[in-house]
Amino acid sequence: MTEFELEIYTQDRRVLSERVRSMIVPAADGYLGVLAHHAPLVTLIGEGMMLLKGSKVGEVEYPVSGGFLEVAHNHATLLVDRIDLPEGSR
């Protein structure tokens, strides 16, 4: 399955940069799924669980809160107010 580049940033730093097959994020009007070659998009992120699937990351969930998601050119950038990553992945 085709992958896309995902970068996640908080106000302080980049917290994740991975190639993933899919992501599901809590958008303003409900959950939103993103696959490779998704149409260009900018949306608000709400509070909830983000699910990532990829060959390297496996299947993981992270709590996220507030921010923006931009998708363009097979690349997704997630700017979040808060993301709770496990201690070993920081």
CATH number of the domain encompassing residue 20: 2.60.15.10
Distance between CA 76 and CA 43 in Å, rounded?
Answer: 11
Cα angle at 67 between 82 and 60, to 5 degrees?
A: 55
Average pLDDT value for residue range 35-54: 96
Residues in the chain: 90
Asked if residue 63 lies in contact with residue 49, where contact means CB atoms within 8 angstroms, the answer is yes
At residue 90, the pLDDT reads 45
Asked if the structure places residue 90 within a domain, the reply is no
Identify whether 69 is part of a domain.
Answer: yes
- Average pLDDT on 53-74 reads 93
pLDDT of residue 1: 67
Question: What is the average per-residue pLDDT within 31-60?
Answer: 94
In a domain, 57, yes or no: yes
- Percentage with pLDDT > 90 across the chain: 83
Domain count, the chain: 1
Question: Does 5 score more than 60 pLDDT?
Answer: yes
Domain of 25 in residue numbering reads as 4-85
pLDDT at 57 > cutoff 90:
no
